[in-house]
Amino acid sequence: MKDEPLLDRSELMAHIRREYALDIVTLTFLPNGFASHCYIALAADGLRYFVKICALTPIGLRFAEQLDVWLPLLWAMHQQQLFSRVPLPVTTVRGAFKSYFDGMAFAVMHFIEGELLGFSTRPSDDLLAQIARAMGSIHQSTGKLDISAVSVEQFAIPFEADLQQALVVLETITARDSWGKQALRDLLLSRRAELQGQLDRLHELQQWARAHPTPLVLCHTDMHGNNLILDQQGAIHVIDWETPLLAPPEQDMFFHARDRFDFFLDHYEQVRGPVQLDSLRFGFYFYRRNLEDMTFLIMEILYENPDDVQTRINLAGLEKESITGWRNFESNIEKVEQVLQRRKELADGS
């Protein structure tokens, strides 16, 4: 849970009134933003808006640059009726998609009423089918949007240097350091060879992916339960578009490539038609996302966590999710291959 930044709410409301011509009467802070400060703004007419302010941190500043990429994309999706269950940006009185307050870039969007799907609940078949069709619609929109500003997948491993440096730092941790850093040292250094094995396998999959190009589509890159809202009518909305990417469809699909993957593909292809996929490309995303998330948790413990509570959460995530996940990647690749092979045989037989 994040603390509210030290900013003047009344000044922020006045700024939104001037910049967006919205008669905002209250602001409610949401303590769950990642690299951003989030508020719900209530207008005098009863309408609610979502305000996302990019923090003045390295990640927040990168997200601020991305506002110029994803806000126009969402606007175009609505205007062209390609896929409307994404946040609708509000433009300023000058027609801009973003503004600045206290040096921080921010955006205002229409608020989506509903509940986060989350990670804890296994989605029903109906919800999983909706997610698949939503993903298919987003991917299908690629050729109808201006994607010239969207980054292209390079199959890079940008976090590797931070991860390797963190392991070096852990070797210097002593009894004089915090209990959290000592616990992190004990957790990881005993598994250093295993961790290096995960990185080595990721490099193998990276080389394979670069050697086997495939058509790219507009990907959300984080289309899991914590970025999906279920509205009161039972429809799924896709939020948090900070990191769009032109990438193989496997980049979005890998979140849903375990449970009922055959069922997922049936509904995805209802929208997009048949697609060519590869289990090794899924493998690259399995490994990369795990190690990327792991590096983020490690860096927070070493350099950023303000209290013991967040450190305990990070340590639990490292042990129960990141490290536990290692043993499943190769079997997950095999399961995906079985599904893809079975579908190919059925298609050839027809």
127-181: pLDDT as tens digits: 999 999 999 999 999 999 999 999 999 999 999 999 999 999 999 999 999 999 9
CA 337 to chain centre: 25
**Which of 181, 191, 189 is closest to 301 using CA atoms?**
181
pLDDT at 112 over 70: yes
pTM of the entire predicted model: 0.94
Amino acid present at 133 = R
226, amino acid identity: N
* Token pair for 99: 């503004």
pLDDT tens by residue, 39-98: 999 999 999 999 999 988 888 898 999 999 999 999 999 999 999 999 999 999 999 999
262-281: average pLDDT:
97
Q: Is the pLDDT of residue 35 over 80?
A: no
Q: What per-residue confidence (pLDDT) applies to 29?
A: 95
Q: State yes or no: pLDDT of 284 exceeds 90.
A: yes
Tokens of 24: 């905002």
